[in-house]
Amino acid sequence: MPEMTYLEAIRSALQYEMRQDERVFIIGEDIGVYGGAFGATFGMLEEFGPERIRETPISEAGIMGAATGAALVGMRPVAELMFMDFVLLALDQLANQAGKARFMFGGKATVPLVVRMPGGSGSGAAAQHSQSLESILMHFPGIKVVNPSTAYDAKGLLLSAIRDPNPVVFVEHKLLYKTKGEVPEEEYTIPIGLADIKREGRDITVVANNIMVKKTLAVAEELAEEGIEVEVVDLRTMRPLDVGTITSSVKKTGRLLVVHEACQTGGWAGEIMAIVSAHDAFNYLDAPMRRLAGADVPIPYNRLLERAAVPQEEDIAREIRAIMSNKY
């Protein structure tokens, strides 16, 4: 199986679907000659032409409105937003129009729309270009939220997202673009709504997404030398959540830590903990559940401050040790 970067896997999925289905097109800023803000669409203008690689003015509301309208009349648009932060400019079209149209038309209309957006900190892009806004997007009924952590998952989930009849927000962490993994060249899909246990363990469950999965896996290898076996649950899909995988893991290990980069207040870690609290998995807990999240501050530009604002490997290790030793 060939190795690809996370970014190459995304481009591979886009190219495959565009070659198979003429209804698929990409719309966004600088996606043609420039090849996208991070290079995801590099070279695609030459293959597919300007009709299917649609350059737009600098207007996220306009991009989302055009993509929503195209989806409603039978096309399968993939809208690219340069940074996740800019989805806030498009929320009326995405949440109030695309997300509600199928419901309001009694299922007679579909909105097969994918919105790709790079999120997260770590690149020195500062407060307006480094946010993790999954929790906001999870709040809106009618929208699916996908958040892959590996190149393999990125390709399989993007193919599923493009084929889905509902709006799908596809979040890509900027620091994952250069990471590599084995990715089949042929077609394969991963079901939306299915979490993945990236590492089996017996002592504690850590639920995480995107870059925090990678960090947690590194910590798990370190802690294994101390005799602590960490089970790492990669959500992959933020909405719908795979409640079964989460609660089964908690029942197995008896301990839970939820890790995400987004600010703690209103973050999705609270949703995971609420689900476990309302489930019989709560009765299996041997220690209080804990969450580790970003600080409630805008992401700083300064690299040291930026690093301090979001969980790092040493923070994850510290929280796991505290739970295991019942010291909080």
Q: What is the DSSP string of 264-325?
A: STT-THHHHHHHHHTSGGGGG-SS--EEEEE-SSPPPSSHHHHHHTS--HHHHHHHHHHHHT
From 8, 17, 29, 60, the catalytic residue? 60
Q: Quick check: bond before 184 cis, omega within 30? A: no
* Domain definitions of the chain by residue range: 3-182, 196-324
DSSP-derived secondary structure letter, 189: -
DSSP-derived secondary structure letter, 175: G
User: Can you give the pLDDT of all 328 residues of the chain as single tens digits?
Assistant: 899 999 999 999 999 999 999 999 999 999 999 999 999 999 999 999 999 999 999 999 999 999 999 999 999 999 999 999 999 999 999 999 999 999 999 999 999 999 999 999 999 999 999 999 999 999 999 999 999 999 999 999 999 999 999 999 999 999 999 999 999 999 999 999 999 999 999 999 999 999 999 999 999 999 999 999 999 999 999 999 999 999 999 999 999 999 999 999 999 999 999 999 999 999 999 999 999 999 999 999 999 999 999 999 999 999 999 999 986 6
Residue 123 sits at the vertex; the CA angle it makes with 117 and 124, to the nearest 5 degrees, is 120
For residue 261, give Cα distances in angstroms to 12, 49, 133, 176.
Answer: 27, 38, 10, 14
Q: How many CB atoms lie within 10 A of CB 315?
A: 15
For residue 240, give Cα distances in angstroms to 106, 140, 193, 203.
Answer: 20, 11, 5, 27
Q: Cα(117)–Cα(77) distance, rounded to whole angstroms? A: 14
pTM for the model: 0.96
Q: Is 60 a catalytic residue?
A: yes
From 8, 80, 129, 306, the catalytic residue? 129
- Cβ atoms 185, 225 nearer than 8 A: no
Residue range 3-182 forms a domain whose CATH class is alpha beta
Domains 3-182 and 196-324 share a fold: yes
What CATH number belongs to 196-324? 3.40.50.920
- Token readout for 86 is 């800019």
Q: Is 260 a catalytic residue?
A: no
pLDDT in tens, 26-66: 999 999 999 999 999 999 999 999 999 999 999 999 999 99
- Token readout for 182 is 């084995």
Give the list of residues 6+ apart from residue 127 with CB closer than 8 angstroms, or none. Answer: 298, 299, 300, 301
Pairing of strands 3-5, 180-182: antiparallel
Give the list of residues 6+ apart from residue 49 with CB closer than 8 angstroms, or none. Answer: none
- Cβ atoms 115, 167 nearer than 8 A: yes
For residue 183, give Cα distances in angstroms to 1, 33, 79, 152, 269.
Answer: 6, 27, 24, 5, 30
Q: How many CA atoms lie within 13 A of 259 on its CB side?
A: 31
Q: Cα(312)–Cα(321) distance, rounded to whole angstroms? A: 15
